[in-house]
Amino acid sequence: MTHPMRAALVLFVAVVVVPGAASAVISAQGNPNLAGTWTIDRGAGTGGRGIAGIPLATTLVIKVSPVEVTVDGDTGSGQTMQTAAFKLDGSANPVPGPLGWDTRAKASWEGSTLVVMTRRSMQGPTGTMGVDVKDVYSVDGDVLTIDRSMGRVTQKLVYRKGVAR
């Protein structure tokens, strides 16, 4: 390779390839501001007590890593903490759900927003039946909003950063 060609290749890599690779790594990491302890603000959301069959967490503890987002919520029996780990590799993995149901979730970053698609299914008398739930997590300062939808039913949950006072 001649010197001018080598110089052009180095310039191309420095100007085009490296910035693109860096932005891919940054976008894969999502939003570190999602991490922390969040307490529900019952007066700020919509949808009342929640969507039937989906427990409403009053406290969330969220951890963010490059490979997964872990959400601990007080949705277990007797308001005990239950953990859902959402892998960010595009795979559907098991998460807590109702007894007798196969519950799996896929998660991905869309910019700084975390989108979680959860599929709950079980064998019924006429075959497999199921429901799909979409949760969209977004953070603005000390406010976490989860826009939840299940078919035409929607709900907006609002959480404040920190523990309940």
- The stretch 126-136 carries a mean pLDDT of 95
Name the band, by pLDDT with cuts 50, 70 and 90, for residue 25: very low
Is the confidence at residue 41, as pLDDT, over 90?
yes
Q: Which residues are CB-contacts of 74 (< 8 A; sequence separation ≥ 6)?
A: 57, 58, 59, 80, 81, 82
As a whole-number percent, the residues of the chain with pLDDT over 90 amount to 62
Paired tokens of 4: 């001018």
Longest dimension (CA), the chain: 73
As a whole-number percent, the residues of the chain with pLDDT over 70 amount to 79
Tokens 């523990």 sit at which residue?
A: 163
In the sheet that holds 68-73, the strands lie side by side as: 82-87, 68-73, 59-64, 36-40, 153-161, 143-150, 127-140, 113-124, 102-110, 93-94
What is the number of other CB atoms lying within 10 angstroms of the CB of residue 56? 18
pLDDT digits (tens, 9 = 90+) for 88-100: 999 999 999 888 8
Is the confidence at residue 48, as pLDDT, over 70?
no
Strand-pair partners of 127: 124
State the pLDDT at residue 114: 98
State the pLDDT at residue 164: 67
- The stretch 160-164 carries a mean pLDDT of 85
In contact, 120 and 105? CB cutoff 8 Å: no
pTM of the predicted protein model: 0.79
Q: What is the mean pLDDT of the chain?
A: 83
